[in-house]
Every structure is written in structure tokens, then in C-alpha cells.
Amino acid sequence: MSSEQYLLEQIDDIKFKLSADPENANLLHDLGVAYYLIGEYEKSVQALKQAVTIEPENSTFKFNLANSFAEEGEFGLAKINFHEVLDSDPGHIPSLTNLADCYEATGDDGQAQQLFEYITRIAPDNALSHFNLGNFLLRKNRHVEAAKCYEKAIEVEKTFTDAYHNLAWILNEVKAHEAALEFAEEGLAVDPLHEDLQKLASKIRNQIG
């Protein structure tokens, strides 16, 4: 059974339970999450809005509703819900991260960068926070700054293979092939089956000759 088939069965099961208990906020939340996981974002929003209406103080419900709004391109509504989660839990890293994504998606790069940088300050030992800032900077073609973020991510978490990949990619782009290969091979030492690293390392070796 595929994961989607499993989720579709879960959706049918939740709907059956809701037919007997239509005001069950937890069931509505679970339905919304299941729809989200199969890419049915409009249905996800509908179910999660009902859950939030029943339990307006539930931050988990609001967080998942915000994510569904973002997938629907309703970034304004997503921002509102992420901010409401943060009102009750100012250090909620997933909300801060996804809120930053929303600001970037709506063209407010300055606010997005502030949030990505803020996350690295409040969670300096979270390698993903440095990686996400690096990815933001890379998308803005700020390669040197991005590389420093990937280096920091690796410093925090030696097994962060995607950070090795992105750092090696940047170094290869600026013709620092030997250094790029070194980081690619370090990443492959962690995960020899990492396909992107395998492809990048092969490309670099061909360029070195």
C-alpha cells in the first residue's frame, strides 16, 4: 500500500467518525492534516478552519492552518495565523521559519532575512536554522554569505549532508574545485548514497580532470 492510499483510507475513517461527532476538533484537525499531506490544500483549509473555530486557542491547529493557507498562496492569512501562534509561543521555530518564507514569497526580503537571522540567534545550536538562512541568501545570489551559513550548519551538525552539498556547489561555481570536492567527499563519507552529492562529486572530478 502506498502512503497516499494509506492516507486516503485514514481520511475515509476520519470522515466516518466525524459523521457521528461532527464537532470533534481533533478529528477535524486530523482530517485537515491528512488532506494537506496528499496536496488537497483547499480541503485542508476547510477542515482546519472548522477545528480552529471550535478551539481558537489551539496553537497546533493554527500552525497547520497557516501552512495550508501558505500552500494555497493565501500568504496574508498564513501570516496572521503564524503571528497568532507566535503570540502564545514567541520562540516557536517552525512558525518563525514558515513566516519568513511567507514574507519572502510576497517580496518582503528584508523582513524575511530579519526572521531567518533572528532564528539563528535564538537557536544557535539548531543546524537547520543556519541552513535555512544560507538557502535564503543563496536564492538572493549572496554566495559568500550563504557559504558561511552552510559552514556553520556543518560545525553544529557534522552529519548535515545537504549543507555539505550546497557548500560544495557554491565552491564549485566559483571555480574552487579542489575545495568543493573536499566538502562533497566529506558529505559522502557521512552518506555514501546521497544522490545529489554523488552527482556533484562526479561533476567536480570531471572538471578537475
- Given this model, what pLDDT does residue 25 score? 98
- Given this model, what pLDDT does residue 79 score? 98
Confidence of residue 190 (pLDDT cuts 50, 70, 90): very high
Query: CB–CB of 163/154 below 8 Å?
Result: yes
Domains for the chain: give ranges and CATH numbers: 1-78 (1.25.40.10)
- Given this model, what pLDDT does residue 3 score? 87
Q: What Cα–Cα distance (Å) separates residue 137 from each residue in 110, 126, 197?
A: 11, 18, 21
- DSSP designation for 55: S
- The answer, yes or no, to whether residue 1 has pLDDT greater than 70, is no
In this predicted model, what pLDDT tens digit does every residue of 33-75 receive, in sequence order?
999 999 999 999 999 999 999 999 999 999 999 999 999 999 9
- Given this model, what pLDDT does residue 209 score? 78
Phi, psi torsion values for 102, nearest 5 degrees? -65, -45
- The answer, yes or no, to whether residue 32 has pLDDT greater than 70, is yes
Indicate the pTM of the whole model: 0.92
In this predicted model, what pLDDT tens digit does every residue of 87-122 receive, in sequence order?
999 999 999 999 999 999 999 999 999 999 999 999
What is the pLDDT of the chain when averaged over all its residues? 97
The separation between CA 128 and the C-alpha centre of its own chain, rounded to angstroms, equals 9
First to last CA, the chain: 46
Cell of 115: 526572521
For the segment 196-206, the average pLDDT, to the nearest whole number, is 96
- Given this model, what pLDDT does residue 185 score? 97
Cell of 34: 491528512
Confidence of residue 186 (pLDDT cuts 50, 70, 90): very high
Confidence of residue 2 (pLDDT cuts 50, 70, 90): confident
Q: Give the integer Cα–Cα distance in Å for 145 and 110.
A: 15
